[in-house]
Amino acid sequence: MDTGCENMATANITVSETPLVLYALRRADDALILGHRLSEWCGHAPMLEEDMALANMGLDLLGQARELYTYAARVEGRNNDEDKFAYLRDVRQYRNLLLLEQPNGDFARTMVRQFFYAAFADLYWRAMMASSDPTLAAIAAKSEKESAYHLRHSSEWIVRLGDGTEESHRRAQTAIDDLWAYTGEMFAVDDSERGLIDAGIAIDPASLRSQWLKTVTGVAGEATLSLPNNDWMQQGGRSGRHSEHLGHLLSELQSLQRTFPGATW
């Protein structure tokens, strides 16, 4: 039973990015890229308990990505699937937030990235449970439970690191300062998504910003950390203009599918 070259090729797939497909791909890419980053820690974390926790969160996110890709494929109806979306799109076809592709750096950086995103995702998925799209509402219900844990876990670490030693405080503060400019993109909405919001399929992330800021400010305060005044925000991930880091991540993630086109694994 030789599987030969079916529809998969090394070339990038083409995607019809209708608003709903694009919507699902953006969230799927968020989950995959952050999940991938967390999986890079496996075997190298500061303590075994954290190896377990980082892998746990990575697995949650991978699960979210798979459901969202599968939904995108179904809506698109063009013979794409979760693996084609993940393995056969190039950097410019990826739609994730810039924040999530940022390298792990030290443990403080990983946790601050996790915290900024989880504080958003927790609110976002909870609100999305009211989506008029039953599949998205179901994915949101599952993702919300997971995000709530991710938020709790990362918040506790932000407090420990901020209010721990001088070194951990310095590292946590540096991570906040470096990553802050990537947080604005979470709340941005373009025309494609605006239509979905108006139709009740998606929720408006801008409406979550003040609650997010309250959460982040509260935890940072308890951690004796400060939030930057700089309100310049980097954007571009949602439309495929990424940082230099994503290409390296994808060249690793996609290496087997690109090297052995058409093989079944």
Partner 1 sequence: MYTQALNTSDGDDRGIEDAARAAQFQARIDADERIEPNDWMPAAYRKTLTRQISQHAHSEIVGMLPEGNWITRAPTLRRKAALLAKVQDECGHGLYLYAAAETLGSAREELVDLMLAGKAKYSSIFNYPTLTWADIGTIGWLVDGAAIMNQIPLCRCSYGPYARAMIRVCKEESFHQRQGFEIMLTLCRGTREQRAMAQNALDRWWWPVLMMFGPPDKVSQHSDNSTKWKIKRFSNDELRQKFVDATVPQAQFLGLTIPDPDMRQNEKGNWEYSPIDWNEFNQVLAGNGPCNRDRLAARRKAHEDGAWVREAAMAHAGKRKHRQLAQAAE
Mention every residue, 6+ apart, whose C-beta is less than 8 A from residue 255: none
- By beta-carbon proximity to partner 1, the closer residue of 34 and 65 is 65
| Least CB distance to partner 1 at residue 142 (A) | 15
Going 21 to 259 to 256 to 245, the CA torsion angle's sign is negative
| Least CB distance to partner 1 at residue 58 (A) | 6
| Least CB distance to partner 1 at residue 248 (A) | 11
| Least CB distance to partner 1 at residue 56 (A) | 7
Would you say 144 and 130 are in contact if contact means Cβ atoms under 8 Å apart? no
- By beta-carbon proximity to partner 1, the closer residue of 27 and 36 is 36
- By beta-carbon proximity to partner 1, the closer residue of 76 and 82 is 82
List interacting residues with partner 1 (CB under 8 A).
1-4, 32, 36, 39-40, 42-52, 55-56, 58-59, 62-63, 65-66, 69, 82-83, 86-87, 106-107, 159-161, 163-165, 167-168, 171, 252-253, 255-257, 260, 262-265
Q: What is the DSSP string of the chain?
A: ------S--SSPP-----HHHHHHHHHHHHHHHHHHHHHTTTT-SSSHHHHHHHHHHHHHHHHHHHHHHHHHHHHHTSS--HHHHHHS--GGG----HHHHS---SHHHHHHHHHHHHHHHHHHHHHHTT-SSHHHHHHHHHHHHHHHHHHHHHHHHHHHHHTS-HHHHHHHHHHHHHHGGGSGGGG---HHHHHHHHTTSS--GGGGHHHHHHHHHHHHHHTT----S-------GGGT---THHHHHHHHHTHHHHHSTT---
| Least CB distance to partner 1 at residue 44 (A) | 4
| Least CB distance to partner 1 at residue 165 (A) | 5
| Least CB distance to partner 1 at residue 151 (A) | 18
- By beta-carbon proximity to partner 1, the closer residue of 163 and 204 is 163
How remote is the C-alpha of 201 from its chain's centroid? 20
- By beta-carbon proximity to partner 1, the closer residue of 49 and 231 is 49
- By beta-carbon proximity to partner 1, the closer residue of 80 and 183 is 80
